[in-house]
Amino acid sequence: MSKPLSDHDKRKQISVRGLAGVENVTDLKTNFNRHLHFTLVKDRNVATRRDYYFALANTVRDHLVGRWIRTQQHYYEKDPKRVYYLSLEFYMGRTLQNTMVNLALENACDEAVYQLGLDMEELEDIEEDAGLGNGGLGRLAACFLDSMASLGLAAYGYGIRYEFGIFNQKIVNGWQVEEADDWLRYGNPWEKARPEYMRPVHFYGRTEHHPDGVKWVDTQVVLALPYDTPVPGYRNNVVNTMRLWSAKAPCEFNLKDFNVGGYIQAVLDRNLAENISRVLYPNDNFFEGKELRLKQEYFVVAATLQDIIRRFKVSKFGSREIARTDFNKLPEKAWDITVRTCAYTNHTVLPEALERWPIDLFQNLLPRHLEIIYEINRRHLERVASLFPGDTDRMRRMSLIEEGGIKRVNMAHLCIVGAHAVNGVARIHSDILKATVFKDFYEMDPHKFQNKTNGITPRRWLVMCNPGLAEVIAERIGEDFIRDLDQLKKLLKFVNDEAFIRDVAKVKQENKLKFATHLEEHYKVKINPNSMFDIQVKRIHEYKRQLLNCLHIITFYNRIKKEPNKQWSPRTIMIGGKAAPGYHTAKMIIRLITAIGEVVNNDPVVGDRLKVIFLENYRVTLAEKAVPAADLSEQISTAGTEASGTGNMKFMLNGALTIGTMDGANVEMAEEAGEDNIFIFGMRVEDVEAMDKKGYNASEYYNRIPELKQAIDQIAGGFFSPKQPDLFKDIVNLLMHHDRFKVFADYEDYIKCQEKVSALYKKPKEWVKKVIYNIAGSGKFSSDRTISQYAREIWGVEPSLEKIAAPDDPK
């Protein structure tokens, strides 16, 4: 028998990684050595692995620069309508491999690095994740940037260059411990500072009202310094820009008025201004009304708006005489321009996540803006009154200013009034917005409300993270699906094809073995690679119901203990995700998961039929390893709480089956894959609403369902925490008496549904057929489709799959 192929040789055979031409490889080696030499000449004789990584990153970056300059030049000349995507989060992960994929350089770089005696995967592992996001919303922005570039849109991502991104999570004695994410420690080869576009941003001060208008005076100034990161499209030579702002104190900061001897302190106080871009707030789906956060929000908006208007003025359209000289009519047109320019995407219906800023905070930080908001509100309520005469309660509900207790600015209401389009991020979510949260606004302006179901980029989430699967697909239907994911429907022809079934199963097994090896290195637990990999990875939150998953684990454990000789379907259950540092309940949920793991994993009766692993420090890079290895994807939020979800789509595309509620995009996934090919359980939105009316009584379920009672009694009685029997009393109390998310109400149906999952897993061929239906149905969930809909239905631009000329082509 021939010896098994090395990882390098295996990678060479994957055509979707691009061709490795000889000249190409030679050039890459030359440039790599040039960059390496430059690094070493500066300070050292011996190259470290990090030196090699930087040499490779800079070599790949060289291939971006020409395309980047040419793309921006192309926009300047053609002057298309620009798209600006503003977000406080861009959760980009690593850049090196994604750039090689999109530039078709992967095999050439791999070969060059190999010929230099280095290992590509080892070098890729040196790169830090750009963790400038919390979860779904920040990762969505990153997928959208990839799709906007791949669809040839003149689009720019604007955000904040946080010095510290989402914290690194360590598990110490079963508890989450946070450490700062110093991701820029060794420098970032992918960014370029652009001090020539620095902009001032004003805070505090006061307003003066004069006959000729209003002045905002005595402000404190902070400078916004932009850093640009290239965003390459997929093999179309387009390179767009993500521009992230960093806060800088002006030279004269605090120095005009320092007293004798205060010079040193004045210079040290520059930190206060520069703290604006210091750290990402680590809350997911939760509003914490802190002044620094409002500063961050205004900082990115004020800097970005100045930059947009600067670019508009220098563009060909902007330089026409009228736009340049005649600003007289601007005031009466400003609001109309604002509304026609802006669109608002809502990402959650959880009331605790919606921003409601206290008036006095706003007044202090942005006094002029508050006056303008009052005026916007006056005109808005005038319109409400004319459309619904005498309906004062509606006026109160729809006001931008909430009275009672502390007065607050309702930011979602301001967004709706100031936008020409408002959208949710999955059909069910958009329907809920119109029916409940924004019902009054929908009745007044139904034309504003749309749906844009979220998507994920198939470049990172299939080609890059799962090249084996991408290849077996490409062998059947060609490579065009990578830019047009709907073509995956062609796989339906192969649902009964023995060879295809075998290939899909083989790729999954290889991915599981690779992930198992990774886990055994990190967790020192032996993993049964033939067990079902049952994975729930997402931020830890009560609404996502990791506790429901825990109750299934305990129930399954108790059943194995009760009948140890039965043929159980073996499982490795993995749960991962970060808890916001101030969210006590979420931290306790992590402690419960680790405690269950300690008991289950050390019980000899259970053996390798059940293992429970908490995946530490879940982030983009860990998702890229876990998603291709999953058999079962857990999407079990209470119906009506998860706006869309996007992890659900990644698992579907990568050959896992889903167990989930009829929530978020799960509804549309069931529609696309076929209801028979996804495990749906639990209450629907209507059932949850009915239960809210009637009242949810947890103890009714506890008393009626013996296995549920047993599990809760074990948690409460210290079975999982023998050294501290009351460790989980808060969690039990929550589940029994204040559970907004009705975990017990879905328990019975969840357990039954999990039994169906186990039964199917014992029939591998039937399982894989359902997997194929899922992959074939996942085309809708490409962010290319999402972005095409935003482009045509909201932004008024037309996407294109045309290539632009490469830098080495003549123009």
> What does each C-alpha distance from 366 to 153, 275, 411, 618 come to in angstroms?
34, 18, 14, 37
Residue 646 is a catalytic residue: yes
Closest CA to 574 of 536, 604, 525: 536
Q: Given this model, what pLDDT does residue 767 score? A: 98
What's the whole-model pTM score?
0.96
Query: 551 vs 13, which has greater pLDDT?
Result: 551
Biggest distance spanned by C-alpha atoms of the chain: 92
Angle, vertex CA 20, rays to CA 16 and CA 23, nearest 5: 155
DSSP state of 456: B
Confirm if 186 and 52 have CB atoms less than 8 A apart: no
Q: What is the rounded distance in angstroms from the CA atom of residue 629 to the CA atom of residue 515?
A: 6
Q: Is the pLDDT of residue 539 over 50?
A: yes
DSSP state of 5: P
Q: Given this model, what pLDDT does residue 264 score? A: 87
Q: Which of 408, 413, 650, 770 is catalytic?
A: 650
Q: Which residues of 521-546 are buried (b: 16+ CB within 10 A; e: fewer)?
A: eebebebbbebbbbbbbbbbbbbbbb
Element (H, E) at 373: helix 367-387
Confirm if 160 and 245 have CB atoms less than 8 A apart: yes
657-660/632-635 β-pairing: parallel
Q: Given this model, what pLDDT does residue 257 score? A: 66
Q: What is the rounded distance in angstroms from the CA atom of residue 523 to the CA atom of residue 627?
A: 18
DSSP state of 164: B
Element (H, E) at 221: strand 220-232
Q: Which of 539, 619, 770, 780 is catalytic?
A: 539
Q: Which of 67, 243, 408, 544 is catalytic?
A: 544
DSSP state of 577: -
Residue 392 is a catalytic residue: no
Q: What is the rounded distance in angstroms from the CA atom of residue 298 to the CA atom of residue 369?
A: 10
pLDDT digits (tens, 9 = 90+) for 658-712: 999 999 999 999 999 999 999 999 999 999 999 999 999 999 999 999 999 999 9
Structure tokens at 715: 């948690």
Structure tokens at 528: 């049964």
Strand, coil or helix: 202 = strand
Structure tokens at 546: 């990791």
Element (H, E) at 354: none
Residue 539 is a catalytic residue: yes
Element (H, E) at 242: strand 239-248
Q: Which of 35, 94, 483, 538 is catalytic?
A: 538
Query: 266 vs 465, which has greater pLDDT?
Result: 465
Q: What is the rounded distance in angstroms from the CA atom of residue 352 to the CA atom of residue 440?
A: 20
> Percent of the chain beyond pLDDT 70?
96
Residue 541 is a catalytic residue: no
Q: Which of 572, 646, 658, 661 is catalytic?
A: 646
Confirm if 280 and 167 have CB atoms less than 8 A apart: no
Q: Given this model, what pLDDT does residue 253 score? A: 85
Span 520-526, mean pLDDT? 87
Residue 331 CA, distance from chain mean position: 38
Residue 611 is a catalytic residue: no
For the chain, give percent helix, strand, coil, nearest 5: 55, 15, 30
Q: Can you say whether the dihedral through the CA atoms of 142, 512, 488, 678 is positive or negative?
A: negative
Q: How confident is the model at residue 329 (pLDDT cuts 50, 70, 90)?
A: low
DSSP state of 357: E
Q: Which residues of 711-743 are buried (b: 16+ CB within 10 A; e: fewer)?
A: bbebbbebbbbeeeeebbeebeebbbeebebbb
Q: What is the rounded distance in angstroms from the CA atom of residue 534 to the CA atom of residue 541?
A: 19
Bridge partners, 402 (sequence order): 408
Bridge partners, 687 (sequence order): none
Q: Which of 278, 347, 490, 587 is catalytic?
A: 347
Q: Given this model, what pLDDT does residue 323 score? A: 46
Q: Is the pLDDT of residue 618 over 60?
A: yes
Confirm if 587 and 176 have CB atoms less than 8 A apart: yes
Bridge partners, 221 (sequence order): 202
**Phi, psi (5° rounding) for residue 175?**
-105, 150
Q: What is the rounded distance in angstroms from the CA atom of residue 146 to the CA atom of residue 149?
A: 5
pLDDT digits (tens, 9 = 90+) for 263-322: 888 889 999 999 999 999 999 888 899 999 999 999 999 999 999 999 998 876 655 444
Q: How confident is the model at residue 39 (pLDDT cuts 50, 70, 90)?
A: confident
Residue 310 is a catalytic residue: no
Q: Is the pLDDT of residue 726 over 70?
A: yes
Structure tokens at 708: 């549920």
Strand, coil or helix: 296 = helix
Q: Within 13 Å, how many C-alpha atoms sit on residue 612's CB side? A: 25
Q: Given this model, what pLDDT does residue 1 score? A: 52
Confirm if 458 and 469 have CB atoms less than 8 A apart: no
Average pLDDT of the chain is 94
**Phi, psi (5° rounding) for residue 167?**
-55, 150
Confirm if 669 and 649 have CB atoms less than 8 A apart: yes
Which residues does 710 contact at the CB level (< 8 Å), separation at least 6? Answer: 558
Q: Is the pLDDT of residue 18 over 90?
A: no
Q: How confident is the model at residue 807 (pLDDT cuts 50, 70, 90)?
A: confident
Confirm if 745 and 625 have CB atoms less than 8 A apart: no
Q: Given this model, what pLDDT does residue 322 score? A: 46
